[in-house]
Chains A and B, each alone.
Chain A
Amino acid sequence: MKTNFTADQRSNPLMAMMEENLRKCVHCGFCLPSCPTYSVSGDERESPRGRIYLIKDMLEREGAPNKEIVTHIDSCLSCLACMSACPSGVNYQHYIDYARHYVENHHQRRGFERFMRMLLVYTITHAKVFKIALKVAKLAKPFSRFFGLKISNMISMAPTKLKTAEITNEARIYPAEGIRIKRVGLLMGCAQNVLRPSVNEATIRLLTRMGMEVVVSDGVGCCGALSHHIGKNDIARDSAKTNIDAWLKEFDQRGLDNIIINAAGCGTEVKDYAYMFKDDPAYKGKAQKISDLTRDISELISEHQLPTVKLSNQPNIIYHDACSLIHGQGIRLEPREHLKSAGFEVVEIPGRHFCCGSAGSYNLLQPTMANELKDRRLALIGEVSDSNKVSILATGNIGCLMQFASGTDLQVVHTVELLDWATGGLKPPY
């Protein structure tokens, strides 16, 4: 693609990298049908190819972007389906991340919107605040129709029942059962441990049963993805640095074979720490090390063996690929294989894979599109759930889990909860 960056713009290494990335795009359009927002709207400004053009325009012109451009950047889910589809190798992930950061720094959002975005990140990433917010939302449920779409959507997303976590984010070591084969660090996640503490509990049970010592290290917290995806790169970098330091301390003092992540969105982010700090002399090597150690829970299971299956008559389940797993980390087969090994019949959702609309805080910030995508996905799921007697929907990311749970009678669980159950753990829901 032809670009028109000035020599001065190219002297900024980040901008130069964006140009290099842009130049790979040959405008073939192969990304269009993979994009959920284009599939819904039929508007090329809502497609990856269109957004690449809009962003190019924004970066070349510099200064404040016009509000049309901001609208179409904001409406991108960052599901990264376009990256899987792109034959010429455009790294859309880094491109859109940069664009969001650019917008954050050069565009003045309306007061209310700015406040909402800040509040959202702060609330979700701080467990105590988040718990209070969820309680307030629960109380507000009967009155949700009196608020605007965004607020009422947030209220409806809040679960009606909240279980207190048996395990907390506090540093702790969970010893391996039998002979220890590995020592792994677990990222507990920020929102996940409030919304569904059972995911981490099941993960710890499963891993220790597999012979792994699981360690929750002091200081490890939010991965930074939530802030990163709304352009607040500074907050994201701070979160990343805190985690990198905490894990490296653990690594140096008592050893760490892997870092395990069971929320796919966080996994994509932590695996990208290496890129995030590649121009930071102090953190470059450290970040690379952490990214190299990081595995999604399904990858770790593939590298070892699932414990003996103790359950019989496992129900049929439907598996939904979290975008951050299938596109962000290229993990498609592993979770299916594990579920099958654990005795579950995996029913596939018909048609092409699409995002469920969750996408981090997207469903809270862009409720119209998010709800449309959720409804479309659930309609397809509905086509196969009854005929296959399915009552459970499994997925590998807390975001998808909450998104689906707000719109279906199926029991929505994390893959790891099923694997734990089949190999001697508790039956969800607990």
Chain B
Amino acid sequence: MRMPTPDAKIISKRSIIVERLQQIVPRGAFGENVIIDSAGLSAYECDGLSAYRQLPLVVVLPETTEQVSKILKYCNETGVKVVARGAGTSLSGGALPLADAVMLGLGKFNQILNIDYANRAVVTQSGVTNLSISEAVSAADFYYAPDPSSQIVCSIGGNVAENSGGVHCLKYGLTTNNLLGLEIVLMNGDIIKLGGKHLDSEGYDLLGIMTGSEGLLGVITEVTLRILKKPETARAMLIGFDDAALAGDCVAAIIGSGIIPSGMEMMDKLAIKATEEFVHAGYPSNIETLLIVELDGPLDEVTDLIARVQNIVNGLGSGYIRVSESETEREKFWAGRKAAFPAIGRITPDYYCVDGTIPRARLPEVLMRISKMSQKYKLRVANVFHAGDGNLHPLIMYDANKLGELERAEEFGTEILILCVEVGGVLTGEHGVGVEKRDLMEKVFTEEDLKQQQRLKCAFDPNGLLNPGKVFPTLHRCAELGRVHIHHGQTPFPDIPRF
């Protein structure tokens, strides 16, 4: 992976940078908050996309927003790059360190600040995990709807940065649909608050801009979220098919009939096998494709919907249907799916999780072509699929210790993503662009599109210091992009009236 050439001048000033960071974030009760030794740095050398690794210049673990502000202000003034990191679970390399950048770890931002049932809102620090928000409000029968598979560990700040989805986003939306407010620190050290516990705010939708900005615009320190009352009933169905095309037809028929399941997921044989070994969810072993369909709402509605789905399934000739009979069983059905990625680690030393979105109707064709590519690249692939919203996650298995296998896996992944775009889909469903899909951005955007997006970044981070090398295939300096320049206190064209 090509990354921006490290700035030797910055690297040579490392000890000065470290000293300043140590002043801002002193040693805590449980050790140093500035990490400088190479072994310690190695714990931060990659995120969930472990194919790409780089030791950061230094890691700093601030505890307060004020410390984050001081760090960013200092880095901005001295031209030091900054990469923010939550729990380090990005699958697109969004938190990949840079040799000349400070890694800003938000692991200590782990407190939920306020639970407000009257406003159905939770205010939390950004390092808090997605799942612990639902856990904190569970006793009052509330939950936070977006639930990425990594929800047990991924941080809510990272969810906002990547606009994460999850199995329930089919019905309840992505992070962006459940986000009410943010506290962010800009690269110049300014602390700003966006939104709040209310629905809309004055001015532009800056919350929308921050969501999915992949750490390029600001560092998220606090998040206000919408929580929902738990559905009265939720039941999950396991539906087995001998043919992936039939499963695809089933998904289309369910959605086409007007039913919106709270989750609709697909797994192929290899994925079923790997997860079954860890979770023992009771998935059938003798089928090609498994659909997990969850329906929620009032009891009568769920009962009716299950009957309707059963009818659809029977019409397609599936031989296997199982409906969860208890909450424990429903959770078990999902536990397998949620652990599917890492459980692949049981059958392969390394995997590369691809994330693309396709029109649902093209699924059988796409799966068939992926299977052909698998033969061509001589690498196994397991498929996990957010069937309801067309988000595909092929898991390409490789062995990083074998020469050339990583490169083959990368090429394989690229070909899958290009295929997604070819059939009318997009490069990413929920994992973000990061470094992984950076160089493919030109396949979907024109140069002018990309420049326009970078102008937005310039408005937040004119020196290009926040998470550089991610998302955009070409780094432009803001000046090139026609930023309004103030020279000797004079803006260009002083004759144009300004308000």
Contacts and interface: CB of A to CB of B under 8 A. Distances in A.
Interface of A: 1-3, 23-33, 37-47, 49-51, 53-54, 56-58, 66, 68-69, 71-72, 85-89, 351-352, 368-369, 372
7 contacts: A26-B50, A28-B341, A30-B342, A41-B31, A43-B31, A44-B44, A88-B344
Interface stretch (B35-43, B301-309, B322-330, B427-435): B35-43
Given A3-B401, A42-B127, A66 B37 contact: yes
Contacts of B342: 26, 28, 30, 86-88
A192 B451 CA distance: 70
Contact of A46 (B30, B47, B53): B30
B97 interface: no
A88 to B, nearest CB: 3
B351 interface: yes
B110 A39 contact: yes
Interface in B99-149: 105, 107-110, 127, 129, 131-132, 135
Given A27-B50, A42-B110, A89 B346 contact: yes
Given A43-B31, A49-B43, A56-B42, 19 more contacts: A2-B350, A2-B400, A25-B345, A26-B351, A29-B88, A29-B89, A29-B150, A30-B342, A32-B153, A33-B131, A33-B152, A39-B110, A46-B30, A54-B40, A57-B42, A88-B278, A89-B277, A89-B346, A368-B29
Contact of B30 (A32, A88, A369): A369
Nearest to A47: B43
B108 A42 contact: yes
B46 A45 contact: no
B214 interface: no
Contacts of B35: 43, 45
A57 B401 contact: no
A378 B53 CA distance: 40
A2 B344 contact: no
Contact of A53 (B43, B87, B339): B43
B48 interface: yes
A23 B109 CA distance: 31
Nearest to B90: A29
Given A32-B87, A66-B37, A42 B107 contact: yes
Contacts of A66: 37, 39
B37 A27 contact: no
A42 B61 contact: yes
A69 B346 CA distance: 27
B428 to A, nearest CB: 19
B335 to A, nearest CB: 10
Contacts of B150: 28-30
Contacts of A38: 107
B45 A30 contact: no
B21 interface: no
Given A1-B349, A27-B50, A43-B31, A58 B89 contact: no
Contacts of A87: 275, 278-279, 339, 341-343, 345-346
A40 B110 CA distance: 9
Contacts of B88: 29, 44, 49
Nearest to A56: B42
B350 A26 contact: yes
Interface in B374-429: 400-401
Contacts of B341: 26, 28, 87
Given A54-B42, A89-B278, A71 B31 contact: yes
A46 B108 CA distance: 12
A135 to B, nearest CB: 33
A352 B105 CA distance: 24
Nearest to A69: B39
A1 B50 contact: yes
The winner among A33, A69, A372 for most chain B CB atoms within 10 A is A33
A352 B341 CA distance: 23
7 nearest A-B residue pairs (beta carbon): A88-B345, A42-B107, A50-B43, A42-B108, A2-B400, A87-B342, A28-B342
A51 B150 CA distance: 20
B213 to A, nearest CB: 22
Contacts of B152: 30, 33, 85
Contacts of A372: 29-30
Contacts of B43: 44-45, 47, 49-51, 53-54
Given A68-B37, A69-B39, A87-B345, A27 B46 contact: yes
Contacts of A88: 278, 342-346
Contacts of A51: 43
A44 B35 CA distance: 10
A77 to B, nearest CB: 13
Contact of A30 (B30, B39, B275, B339): B339
Contacts of A42: 61, 105, 107-110, 127
A2 B132 contact: no
Contacts of B37: 66, 68
Contacts of A24: 345-346, 349
Contacts of B46: 27
A314 B176 CA distance: 51
B48 A68 contact: no
B383 to A, nearest CB: 17
B129 A33 contact: yes
Nearest to A351: B135
Contacts of B349: 1, 23-24
Contacts of B401: 2-3, 23
A228 B330 CA distance: 41
B39 A41 contact: no
Contacts of A57: 38-39, 42
Contact of B87 (A3, A25, A29, A69): A29
A71 B88 CA distance: 22
